[in-house]
Every structure is written in C-alpha cells, then in structure tokens.
Amino acid sequence: MVFLNGQYDQGDWWQSFALAAVTLGLLFIFLTKGRSEGKDGKQYPPYAPAGLWETALSVSGSQAPSFMIQMARELNCSVFRMRLPIFGTPMVVAVGEPLLTKAVLTDSGSIKPAVIYKAFHNVTKGPNIFSETNLVLWKHARRGVSPAFSTQHVQRMNSICAQQTERWIKERLVPAIENETAFDIAQAMRDLTVSVLCEAAFEYDPTEEDMRTFLFETETAMREFSFKQSANPMRQWFAWVLPEVRRARLATDRMQAFGFKVMNHYRSLKHHETEDTVIGRIMNNDKYKNDAARAADILTLLVAGHDTTGYSLAWILLNLAQHPHEQTILREELQTMPKEERAQCQAVRNVIQEGMRISPVAAVSSVREIAKDIVSPSDPTIILPKGSIVFLPQILACRNPDVFDAPDEFLPSRWNNPSELQRTAVIPFILGSRNCVGQRLAIAEIHSVIARLCTDFEFFVEDEGTSEYFLTYKPVGALLKARRVQK
C-alpha cells in the first residue's frame, strides 16, 4: 500500500515491493563490499545495534528521534556508526556528545554534504540559502539577507509579532475559552508564526487559503525530498514506481507559484517602510540570477522560520500544560514584573531553554562532511576519519545522561546554574558559519509569545497526542484548553 494525498492506494502495493527488492539487492552489494575500518590502528565509534535496512527505515521514519535515543542507550555511547546507503564515505556517524558536536560544526573544513542536502533543492526547485553547497553563492545570499536581522529590524518584526499575538488571542484563544473547546497547539502556533513571518519579513498578508495551501504543499514536498530522500537517496531513482515522489513534484510547483505571488505583491506596493525587510533584501540583491532563485530563498526562509519557531512554541506550551507546577512558578514570576521586562526574566529563559532541550525541533539534523580527522575532545580514543558523513542529532546531546541528570524530565530549574557542557549541548540554532540566519528573530518571538500567553492564561492538556519527525520534531494531535487567570 502507498500513502498518497491523505489516502492509501491499495493497488500500488507491488510498486513498494519492487522498490524494496531492488533496494535490498543494492544494499546487499554494499554490505558485502570489503571494508577497511580499523586496519589503520585508529579506534572508531561502535556500530549501532541495527542493520542497514532497519536503520534506513528508522532514520527516514516519523520516529527517528526515538530510534537515535534507543541506539545510544543500548550502546551506552552517544557516538556511534550507522549503516546507511550513502556511498563514497569512510563511515556515517551519529554524534550526541556536545564537545565533539561543537568541534564538527565549528571546523572550517566541515561542509554540508551534497548527497544529503541537494535533496532539499527539489523542494524549492533549485539551490537555496539552506542547502547551497557552493560556498560563493551561499555567501552572496547570506550576506544579502543578514542586515534584515539586525537589532533594529528584529525589534520592528517583534513588535509585529506582539500585534499578531494579540490578534490570535482575540480571534482564536478567547473564543476557545468561552466555548470551552480544545485547540491543536502545534497548528495554532504554526499558523501564528506564519502570519508573523509573512507580514514582518515579506510584507505579505496571506489569506486563509494561502496559508492552508502553502502549509499542505510544503509538508508534502518536504516529507519526500528533505526527509525521505535525505536518509535514503535511492528513492529519487524510483519516481516511476513511487506516486509519493510524483505528488511531491507537483507540490513544489505550487510552492514556487506562492513564492512568485509574494514577489509580485512586493513589486506592486508603491511604498516600503524600509528596504531592509527580508523580502526587500532578496528582491534588491542582484547576485540572484533570476526570480526562480529568489523564490527559492523566500520559500526556504518562510519554511525554516515557521517550522522551527512555531513547533518550539508548541512544545514549550505543551510541556508547561503537562507540568502545572512549573506553569505556576512561571506565571507567579511574570505577574510580579513590569510588562516590558517579562520576556527576558529568568523564569521565561529557563522554561524556553528546557523546552528546547527536551523537545528540540531539529531533533535529528544537522549533517556535515568533515575535511580532516576529528578527535573527540572528551575521549581522545574516538576518531572521526576525514570524509565521514556526520549526523548531529540534537536530541542525543539534549537527552545525554552523561550531561543531564534525569534527561527525560522537564525541569526548568536546571538552568538556574547550568554547567558549560550543558550550555554547549543545547544549540537549537546550530553553531558555525552555517548557523540559522534568523535566530535572533526566532529567540525574540519565542520569548515574547511565551511571556504574553503565560502571564494571563493557564493551559491544560485535553489530549497529549503523539510526536512525529520529518525534518522537524513536532507534537501531533496535542489538544490544549485554556482559561484566563486573575492577576
């Protein structure tokens, strides 16, 4: 059976079987090739206790974060090799040790491997600021858009975030409270973030239909190209037997059309408050070869911004609803502080840091190809050889029992006096030159929304739902109720 556009097509089961048979044959050849690890006398990380086929399915599945944690805990080791069908590399390694993660990300020779990231080109119908492996082109795009995230413009965009939050409270939250109805917290925070980004960064006010179409087509395309094909590149060779691949290609056409719609709207405006908005910086950057290249970066920044910020907010609010005592501690501190100081108070910082630790949205990314042997700073006997593909699952570092006591518990107070190693473990926006260009806006937005909502409202769990991962880690079907509290 094949999942297509929300339904199963039972007549296509043979296509999956054929693909599996061909893939297993290729994997058998791969597995039986002569290997030379360890013959040079160096000690390499142990293999995860899972075969190649199981690993490929798990890493490209919705429960990839749980698989990573399971492997690390069965091995009692946060650095391990994985059997994945990625050819031409000495090894594929998962690293959940904070200092080694930092060493990989900050090494000037580490690059985003094309074999992994070029799959994302398919989402935006061409290279983009996230997946571009040509450093010259990437620098042009990065330098072009960076001024839009200066302190001045982050403050401007955060004021729009505050306005949109008040609008969401009035139009969505208050009616839910009055009607005593539950709401999907992931969908609510995702929609809020999209509306903020469209107005603040792209000077565009999306219709309800715009948002629904964009979000659905984005998920369809990303699930195939950015997730399944990144973990299993061989899927791209079998579009003729995989309807999901063909449907994903249609989704990218519709996404690109939305990008052009945003650009055309910008051009139609007779006045711009500033030319240093994100859309302004992109439209006025003559280093782009055409509008298709501009649309690719517009889509990338919009996708990356709403996914990470929206689901971070959702996880934090869900964790607070699951822990009423922690929610009370936060609210009591917020209500004693002046309004302008609430977003930066210690209690808000603790809750946000702990929420992003226990439920990191980039749970299984990022990936780097290293240009030299890298020795683990914490264990000099462990070496990652030059040319290795290194997965850096944040959930491994964030749930590492050697770094955090009770790593699976939501304990905001652990951030009252964290160690340097604990600080290094939680890097929601990545380190190094390829870090998140919009992280200052994301941080400001998360602090602003959490402080505003948790001052005046209390949240309760109606349904805890489940979790799902594909590129980002998100709660699925988590329903909350809310009530207004007295100051």
Per-residue pLDDT of 163-216, as tens digits, reads 999 999 999 999 999 999 999 999 999 999 999 999 999 999 888 888 889 889
Q: How high is the mean pLDDT of the chain?
A: 87
Which amino acid does the sequence have at 331? Answer: R
Give Rg (Cα) of the chain: 23
What pLDDT score does 229 carry? 72
Residues 6+ positions from 362 with CB-CB distance below 8 Å: 308, 394, 428, 430, 472, 473
Q: How far apart are CA 216 and CA 468, in angstroms?
A: 16
Cα separation, 181 vs 8, whole angstroms: 31
Asked if residue 235 lies in contact with residue 242, where contact means CB atoms within 8 angstroms, the answer is: yes
Q: CA angle at residue 314 from 313 to 318, to 5 degrees? A: 120
**Alpha-carbon gap, residue 431 to 255, rounded angstroms:** 29
Closest to 373 (Cα-Cα) out of 134, 80, 110: 110
Amino acid code (one letter) for 419: S
Rounded-to-integer distance, Cα 116 and Cα 131, Å:
9
Using DSSP's 3-state secondary structure scheme, residue 466 falls into strand
User: Could you give the CA distance from residue 125 to residue 120 in angstroms, rounded to a whole number?
Assistant: 9
Tokens of 428: 């929601």
Q: Which of 55-64, 297-306, 430-439, 442-451 has the highest mean predicted lDDT (pLDDT)? A: 442-451
The verdict on whether residue 436 carries a ligand-binding annotation is yes
Q: Out of 37-41, 223-227, 278-282, which region has the weakest mean confidence (pLDDT)?
A: 37-41
- Cis link prior to 366 (omega < 30° from 0)? yes
Contact residues for 10 (Cβ-Cβ < 8 A; gap 6+): 1
| Cα separation, 149 vs 435, whole angstroms | 13
> pLDDT by residue (tens digit) across 212-234?
898 899 889 888 887 677 666 67
pLDDT at 159: 92
CATH fold of 35-484, please? Cytochrome p450 (1.10.630)
**Residue type at position 291:** D
Q: Distance between alpha carbon 86 and the CA centroid of its chain, in Å? A: 22
**Maximum average pLDDT range among 5-9, 125-129, 383-387:** 383-387
Q: Tokens 């602090």 identify what position?
A: 447
pTM of the predicted protein model: 0.88
The pLDDT confidence band at residue 235, using thresholds 50, 70 and 90, is: confident
**pLDDT bracket for residue 470 (50, 70, 90):** confident
- Cβ distance 147 to 437 under 8 Å? no
